[in-house]
């Protein structure tokens, strides 16, 4: 990667910038989301931790150097324009409100940042999925209730709006060889009644880790670390046995909120415990469906709902307010 950084720096320094058109061409080549600089940062995410330590500072200095080349050229053009500018009559400025990140996106980014520090990459996939990736590959029997029209928005006989981001896990296992360690944030859809606590669409962050020798202890330690960083170091956690078609054994994870306040008592239905995610070891059938040898590899998966965690974090009592686009509500998060 060091050689690639040097090549790009030399290319940027030798880039001809004699007009605004060439300045824009420089920006499109180096500084946009799909530019050369961002490509290196994406490659950096997949490096081993020891390489990240040695290259992190150099990569940031490289980015600043490219940005400075652009800024200096832009400033020169602005200075030239100011020197030749003629007197004009300016119109009064229009007031324009500044936007901000949506609270749901903020929570997703906060969650993703924690898992990225634990070595997980971020993957996404299509929201309209075929039966194989959404159900069959994940060990859902043909007569499973989730296939019913009451739960799923079907587009046609073989396609539906995805009901979970587990479909992205299938796509990863089909196209990548282990080890695989990734999270899958995204929007999912289920045909449910809309209320203060549920909606027909919501957001998930799922995770997958496949490698040799992965155990349930690895799963628990990963989730313990996430809870301590996101909810606080003193957060109590418990696991309860559960069932999911695509994991075996399976569990649900709860955090302890307590019963001291009326809000906590109502949210936890008087138990003090709140379920935040489901998890388990990837079922052998799922591994075989994705052409991964279960005799060599094991793995764990987990999934959590973002919307309810956002409700908990920000003290929002009605899930629907996140998506009503009421600026009076959204402006409360303008400092995020």
Kindly report, residue by residue over 9-56, the tens digit of the pLDDT: 777 777 878 888 888 888 888 778 778 777 777 777 777 777 767 777
**What is the sign, positive or negative, of the torsion defined by CA atoms of 285, 291, 296, 302?**
negative
pLDDT score, position 32: 80
User: Which pLDDT score, from 0 to 100, does residue 133 have?
Assistant: 94
Buried b (16+ CB within 10 A) or exposed e, 318-327: ebebbeeeee
104 with 146: CB under 8 angstroms?
A: no
Q: Please, which pLDDT band fits residue 75 given cuts at 50, 70 and 90?
A: confident
Over its C-alpha atoms, the chain yields an Rg (Å, rounded) of: 24
Q: pLDDT per residue over 286-301, tens digit each?
A: 999 999 999 999 999 9
Looking at every residue in the chain, the average pLDDT score rounds to: 86
Segment 236-247 shows an average pLDDT of: 94
In the chain, beta strands by DSSP E: 121-122, 128-130, 159-161, 180-189, 201-211, 237-244, 247-256, 273-282, 298-305
182-233 pLDDT, tens per residue? 999 999 999 888 887 778 899 999 999 999 999 999 999 999 999 999 999 9
Confidence of residue 90 (pLDDT cuts 50, 70, 90): low
pTM > 0.85: yes or no: no
pLDDT in tens, 249-288: 999 999 998 888 887 777 788 888 989 999 999 999 999 9
pLDDT of residue 198: 79
pLDDT band at 128; cut points 50, 70, 90: very high
**What pLDDT, on a 0 to 100 scale, did the predictor assign at position 105?**
93
Walk me through the domains of the chain, giving residue ranges and CATH numbers.
2-81 (no CATH), 103-333 (3.30.930.10)
Query: Tens digits of per-residue pLDDT, 167-184?
Result: 999 999 999 999 999 999
Q: With 0-12 CB in 10 A as exposed, 13-18 as middle and 19+ as buried, what is 63?
A: middle
pLDDT band at 149, cuts 50/70/90? low
What integer pLDDT is reported at residue 293 of this predicted model? 96
| pLDDT at res. 23 | 82
pLDDT one-digit tens code per residue, 95-122: 666 677 889 999 999 999 999 999 999 9
């Amino acid at each position: 990667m060091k050689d690639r950084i040097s090549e790009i720096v030399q290319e940027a320094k030798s880039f001809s910038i004699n007009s605004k058109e060439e300045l824009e061409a420089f920006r499109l080549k180096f500084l946009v989301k799909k530019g050369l600089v961002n490509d290196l940062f994406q490659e950096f995410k997949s490096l081993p931790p020891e390489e990240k330590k040695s290259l992190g500072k150099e990569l940031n200095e490289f980015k600043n150097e490219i940005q400075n080349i652009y800024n200096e050229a832009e400033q020169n053009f602005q200075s030239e324009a100011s020197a030749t500018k003629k007197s004009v009559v300016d119109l009064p400025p229009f007031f324009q409100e500044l936007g901000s990140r949506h609270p749901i996106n903020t929570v997703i980014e906060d969650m993703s940042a924690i898992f990225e520090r634990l070595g997980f990459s971020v993957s996404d996939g299509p929201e309209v999925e075929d039966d194989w990736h959404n159900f069959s590959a994940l060990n859902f029997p043909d007569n499973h209730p989730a296939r019913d029209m009451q739960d799923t928005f079907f587009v046609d006989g073989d396609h539906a709006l995805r009901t979970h981001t587990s479909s992205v896990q299938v796509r990863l296992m089909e196209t990548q060889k282990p080890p695989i360690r990734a999270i899958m944030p995204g929007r999912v859809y289920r045909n449910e009644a809309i209320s203060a606590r549920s909606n027909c669409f919501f957001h998930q962050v799922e995770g997958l880790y496949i490698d040799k020798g992965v155990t349930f202890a690895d799963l628990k330690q990963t989730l313990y670390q996430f809870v301590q960083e996101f909810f606080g170091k003193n957060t109590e956690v418990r696991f309860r046995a559960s069932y999911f078609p695509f994991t075996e054994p399976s569990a649900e994870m709860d955090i302890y909120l307590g019963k001291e306040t009326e809000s906590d008592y109502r949210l936890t239905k008087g138990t003090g415990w709140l379920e935040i995610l489901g998890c388990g070891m990837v079922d052998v059938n799922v591994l075989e469906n994705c052409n991964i040898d279960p005799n060599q590899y094991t793995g764990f998966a987990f999934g959590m709902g973002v919307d309810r965690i956002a409700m908990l974090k920000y003290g929002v009592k009605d899930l629907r307010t996140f998506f009503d686009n009421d600026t009076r509500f959204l402006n409360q998060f303008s400092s995020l």
